[in-house]
Amino acid sequence: MNHVLHRCIVLVVAVLLLAGCSEDSSKTPSPAASAIRALVPVVLQTDWYAQPEHAGFYYARSAGYYREAGLDVEIRPGANFTNIPQLVATNRVQFAVGTSDNLLMAISRGIPLLGLFPYFQHDSQCVMFLKESGISTLADLDGRTVMLNPAAAYVQYLQKALDIRLQLIPLDYSLARFLGDPNFIQQCFLTSEPYYVAKQGVDPGFLPLSSFGFDPYRLVYTNRQFAKDNPELVRGFVAASLRGWRDYMASDGALAHTEIGKLNDQQSMEYMAWTKTAMQSNQLVFGKPEQQETLGLIKLRRLDEHIRQLESLGLLGGPVEATAAFGLSYLPRELVQE
């Protein structure tokens, strides 16, 4: 064969091989690209603006725990939303936060929701008063004017189960009347209002919701069918969220606080650090060690008592069972107790 012809043939073959390789590489995504495309988008709907009371979820996202679980999690704030359970029921969002009393009432009315895990063992809601008002026990609230959310289940519990008569003023979230009237009493959160009241030189007293004998979890729930169809996804979300809360509470909180501050400029670093300390001192996230509580723990007897209370107050639309209302199989076994 002519040497020139031979060299031409070799060059043509080489070019064709290179073209083939180039075409194959364009069809085969890089590992990084594959990982990005493999992430499943889901929404976690919160019940307020970005705040440290949701910091464990922001920590899990910022630290990459959700991505490790194959999830692209949007944390969507929901200030003043009243239809969040309906958003979950219709699968417009996949996860949401709330309280166990509201969840149980919704389920009893046939709304297809499923409780997953508590991120607060105890709700941070409480009744706040000035110490000079003379209030020290629940009985001291009898006959008083109190600013509360009149639709809250615990208000029904106070009035019907404990026979405490209240002159109710609908909650407007303002502190103006509280600061101006030594006899004024109002609902607040242990993790929020006390900070602002203290800034005004006031040292208030509190009666935590859990001390009433009405003690809901603050938790995450999902759509029942969504969980059934995507069990591994839900387990991954639960595990990553619990890891986020655990690591947030063990850290200085800066990773989550920085993210929250970007999303809500009303949240200062000082305030968020104060709130984190309030969560610790009030044993909200990990609960009370003397009661064998810990992060994510569900006690079935406690839920049964909660159901009994709601039923006695006439707040349930039908029968509901704790074991059916909660997706216990999505939690590690050690986090489910009788």
The answer to whether the CB of 52 falls within 8 A of the CB of 191 is yes
* φ, ψ for residue 41, nearest 5 deg: -75, 130
Segment 322-326 mean pLDDT: 97
The answer to whether the CB of 186 falls within 8 A of the CB of 125 is no
| pLDDT band with cut points at 50, 70 and 90 for residue 307 | very high
Segment 65-69 mean pLDDT: 98
**Percentage of residues in the chain having pLDDT higher than 70:** 88
Q: What is the pLDDT of residue 37?
A: 61
Listed in sequence order, the residues at least 6 apart from 227 whose beta carbon sits closer than 8 Å to its beta carbon are 114, 116, 234, 327, 330
The answer to whether the CB of 166 falls within 8 A of the CB of 141 is yes
pLDDT digits (tens, 9 = 90+) for 70-89: 999 999 998 766 789 999 99
Residues 301 and 282: their CA atoms lie apart, in Å, by 23
Instruction: Answer with the residue of higher pLDDT: 254 or 33.
Output: 254
| pLDDT band with cut points at 50, 70 and 90 for residue 36 | low
Residues 94 and 90: their CA atoms lie apart, in Å, by 9
Burial 129-155 (b: 16+ CB within 10 A, else e): bbeebebeeeeebeebebbbeeebbbb
Residue ranges of E strands in the chain: 40-45, 71-76, 95-99, 113-120, 125-130, 145-148, 167-170, 185-189, 204-208, 218-223, 298-299, 336-337
Residues 79 and 50: their CA atoms lie apart, in Å, by 9
Using DSSP, state whether 121 is helix, strand or coil. Answer: coil
Question: The pTM is what?
Answer: 0.87
Which tokens go with 296? 């994510």
| pLDDT band with cut points at 50, 70 and 90 for residue 43 | very high
Same fold, 38-123+216-337 and 125-212: yes
| pLDDT band with cut points at 50, 70 and 90 for residue 2 | very low
Tell which CATH classification among 3.60.20.10, 3.40.190.10, 3.40.50.1970, 1.10.357.10 matches the domain 38-123+216-337.
3.40.190.10
Reply yes or no on whether the pLDDT at 31 is more than 60. Answer: no
Which neighbouring-strand residues pair with 146?
168, 185
The answer to whether the CB of 325 falls within 8 A of the CB of 222 is no
Which neighbouring-strand residues pair with 169?
147
**Other residues' Cβ atoms within 10 Å of the Cβ of residue 65:** 22
Domain residue extents for the chain: 38-123+216-337, 125-212
Listed in sequence order, the residues at least 6 apart from 135 whose beta carbon sits closer than 8 Å to its beta carbon are 129, 141, 144, 185, 205, 207
CATH fold of 125-212 reads D-Maltodextrin-Binding Protein; domain 2 (3.40.190)
